[in-house]
Amino acid sequence: MLEFNVQTLAFLLFSLFVLGGAAGVVTTRNLIHATLYLILSLFGVAGLFVLMSAPFLAVVQVVVYIGAIAILIVFAVMLTRSMTRLRDLYNHQWAASAVVAVLLFVLLAVGVILPVWGVNGAQTPTEVSDVVADTVELGKALVDRNQYVLPFELASLLLTAAMIGAIVVARDDE
Amino acid sequence: MVPLWAYLLVAAGLFCIGAYGVLSRRNAVAVLMGVELMLNAVNINLVAFWRYLSPLNMGGQAFVAFVFVVAAAEAAVGLAIIISVYRSRRSVIVEDVDIMKW
């Protein structure tokens, strides 16, 4: 089970942010409030990244997700003002969606739990290495000829294409 | 350290909540928020497996960086489409946008 220490406490707190924020996103009527819940959830994910010793990803999570994507969503909500508070929050298939989501969660949870506590499960926790590659290694890997330089360049191309595409699609044609 | 299964459970919960949002909300912006939640669940899983199984191989973190890029592109194009649809149809309810329904 979980041992009780500061790290576990932080994990539980951030998990509460993540899941509570997510629940707020899908149940709140007012979309501005839903976006604020989304920011809470994304912040919790950044905290989990810090706990897993990935500080660079945590900062990128705050800058890109909270600083850019969430603000973009706020803009979209405000530009579609009359749609911010719909009277009917859910479509007619919401009950089926809830069943599907719960079943999927049960399936995933069984898949996660069974290898740990199942009949042939590994009851003892496996050794976790204290040696972790740092941000310098990530930077090197992203521009290394034998690793990720090609996907890295493709990602920049994708961002440019998406930016031009978004401008063209959202432009007013008179 | 917190065991791996705890992170995987949180990620599974986040993914399922996001999937419920995508499937059940009527507002297209709310649907996009659900997609963002699901992408974040995937990111938690990627970083958790990187940390616990191969912390010296940067593949896990590099993949998360690419997911960030794709998520930003998806949000920009998706919201542009939503704003464009709102301009022409005065609605962002997904059931109203059915011109491509056969």
Q: What one-character-per-residue DSSP string does A80-120 give?
A: TGGGSS-S--B-TTHHHHHHHHHHHHHHHHHHHHHHHHSTT
Q: How confident is the model at residue B3 (pLDDT cuts 50, 70, 90)?
A: confident
pLDDT of residue A121: 65
Query: What is the CA angle A40-A159-A48, rounded to 5?
Result: 30
Query: What is the CA angle A78-A81-A85, rounded to 5?
Result: 110
Q: How confident is the model at residue A1 (pLDDT cuts 50, 70, 90)?
A: low
What is the C-alpha radius of gyration for chain B, rounded to an integer number of angstroms? 17
> Chain A residues with CB inside 8 Å of B26's CB?
86, 88-91
**Residue A85 near residue A93, CB atoms below 8 Å:** no
**Mutate which of B49, B54, B68 to disrupt the A interface (most A C-beta within 10 Å)?**
B68
% of chain B exceeding 90 in pLDDT: 51
- Of B54 and A10, which is predicted with more confidence? A10
Q: Is the pLDDT score of B1 beyond 80?
A: no
pLDDT of residue A24: 92
Average pLDDT over all residues of chain A: 86
Interface of A with B in 102-141 (CB under 8 A): 102, 104-105, 108-109, 112-113, 116, 125-126, 128-129, 131-133, 137-138, 140-141
Residue of B nearest to A74 (CA): B29
Q: How confident is the model at residue A165 (pLDDT cuts 50, 70, 90)?
A: very high
Q: Which among A52, A65, A169 has CB closest to B81?
A: A169
Helix axes B4-24 and B28-53, enclosed angle (nearest 10): 170
Q: Which among B5, B27, B52 has CB closest to A113?
A: B5
Query: Rounded to an integer, what distance in angstroms lies between the CA atom of residue A89 and that of residue A43?
Result: 25
Length of chain B: 102
Helix axes B4-24 and A6-27, enclosed angle (nearest 10): 10
pLDDT of residue A84: 74
Q: How confident is the model at residue A136 (pLDDT cuts 50, 70, 90)?
A: confident
Lowest-pLDDT range, A15-19, A50-54, A114-118? A114-118
- Of A77 and A145, which is predicted with more confidence? A77
Average pLDDT over all residues of chain B: 89
Query: Rounded to an integer, what distance in angstroms lies between the CA atom of residue A170 and that of residue A156?
Result: 21
Contact at CB, A41 and B37, closer than 8 angstroms = yes
ipTM of the complex: 0.91
Q: Helices H, strands E: what count in chain B?
A: 3, 0
Which of the given ranges, A14-23, A129-138, B56-65, has the highest pLDDT on average? A14-23
Q: Is the pLDDT score of A123 beyond 80?
A: no
Q: Does A172 touch chain B (CB under 8 A)?
A: yes
CA A144 remoteness from chain centre = 27
pLDDT of residue A2: 66
* 3-class DSSP state of A133: coil
Fill in the DSSP letter of residue A121.
Answer: -
Q: What is the pLDDT of residues B37-48, one digit of tens each?
A: 999 999 999 999
Q: Which of A129, A10, A65, A134 is nearest to B6 (CA)?
A: A10
Helix axes B28-53 and A70-79, enclosed angle (nearest 10): 170
CATH architecture for residues A1-89:
Up-down Bundle (1.20)
pLDDT of residue B32: 92
Q: Does B70 touch chain A (CB under 8 A)?
A: yes
- Of A144 and A99, which is predicted with more confidence? A99
Give the residue carrying structure tokens 């990620």.
B11
- Of A126 and B72, which is predicted with more confidence? B72
pLDDT of residue A122: 64
pLDDT of residue A128: 74
- Determine the residue type at A24: G
Q: Which of A110, A30, A106 is nearest to B16 (CA)?
A: A106
Query: Rounded to an integer, what distance in angstroms lies between the CA atom of residue A19 and that of residue A14?
Result: 9
Q: What is the pLDDT of residues A67-80, one digit of tens each?
A: 889 999 999 898 88
